[in-house]
Amino acid sequence: MEDCPCKRKKLDDDTENSRTMSSNGEEQEIKAGSQDKEYFQSYADVGIHEEMLNDVVRTNAYRYAILKNYEKIRGKVVADVGAGTGILSVFCVQAGAKKVYAIEGSALAKQTRLVVEENKMADRITVLQGRAEDVKLPEKVDVIVSEWMGYALFYESMLPSVLHIRDRWMKKDGVILPSSASLYIAPFSDDEISERLETWSAMKEKYKVSMDCMKTYAKQCLSYGAHVRCICPEDVIAHACQLVNFDLSKVTVQEVTDIQRNFELTCFGSSVLHGFVLWFTVSFPENVILSTSPYSQSTHWGQTLFYNEEECDVRQDTQIQGKITMKPNKAKPRFLDVNIGFQIDKHNIQQKSYYMSDNIT
């Protein structure tokens, strides 16, 4: 496994509350609104933006895509959804945009205005502070640009906000940047896990205290939620399966908030299956692609890993068949509930649920 910079979200996770949520719709709405407040507060912190801007793969991909699509942007009206520091809005003006509405839900909007003024673009960029669902634009837009992707593509559930702007404010022949998004799954092996678990066996030699019983608990903790890191290509033990490929000009909110997909994987050779890894790509017109694959340059998204409670031996041409579901958590919809069920060579179905909170390691 490799180290890579990762975006950290501080959304004040409350696992117990999310598990015992009342079915009362009004209470759920209050909880979701409360999490939105925490979400936007987290994005007012400069550290998150430092990490994203220092991700040159991410930022240069957007810059290149915007400038390469200048013919679609020049003289047009643009909405930048989740504008942050406003860098994408500035790129759009550099590409010739007539007007950019930079929509930013957090208190960072004040700093966004200063960035706009510093770049002498106040006559072309208007910063609107508020949720995308609440803002009222003075006019329809020709182009939407947004960096909405989270871990495993859908973490934080920002895409529905972009689709709201699309449906409410974009002209019928409008353009969305990026224009499509794909999510992939593959099995992985992690040699470091065995070493980590052996830590408990080593306690007897170190301190004359036996702690082998902790291994099972350590496995349970490891497989409770998601882990984000950059894995080595050799840790991927089968070709990836594409789970989704969404055309962002057509996909619906229902489709992006209720992912249910089957997958089939064929292993390369003898190895140990420790879990499943997810990554995504987004594509822009003019053949510009931003990939978070382990075979591409590292980004702050890394890859998202889900560990099994029990490891499984596999060999050449071992077949792994399974199903994955991904939905926003009912109590805290910025978080995700993920379920992965699978069987190896059509034997012994294994099922595991994961909770993608802000306690991502």
Q: Residue 147 catalytic?
A: yes
CA distance 340 to 338: 7
CA distance 84 to 40: 10
| Distance from C-alpha of 155 to C-alpha of 157, rounded to nearest angstrom | 5
Where are the extended beta strands (E) located within 163-208?
170-177, 180-188
Torsion-angle region of residue 345: left (phi > 0), alpha (psi -120 to 50) or beta?
left
3-state secondary structure of 264: strand
Residue 314 CB contacts under 8 Å (≥ 6 apart), including other chains: 187, 237, 267, 270, 271, 272, 273, 320, 344
The span from the CA of 85 to the CA of 92, in Å, is: 14
Tell me the C-alpha distance between 233 and 2, whole Å: 10
Query: Which of 26, 27, 50, 147 does the annotation list as catalytic?
Result: 147
Dmax (CA) of the chain: 74
Strand pairing category for 336-344 and 319-328: antiparallel
CA within 13 Å, CB half, 220: 5
DSSP string, 119-165: TT-TTTEEEEES-TTT---SS-EEEEEE---BTTBTTT--HHHHHHH
Which residue matches tokens 């959804």? Answer: 81
Tell me the two tokens of residue 48.
């998150």
How many residues are given for the chain? 361
Q: Residue 42: in which H helix or E strand, if any?
A: helix 25-42
Is residue 156 part of the annotated active site? The answer reads yes
Using N-to-C axis directions, what is the helix angle for 214-222 and 191-207, rounded to 10°? 150
Per the residue annotation, which of 2, 156, 286, 310 is the catalytic one? 156
From the centroid of its chain, how far is CA 306? 14
Q: Which residues are catalytic?
A: 147, 156
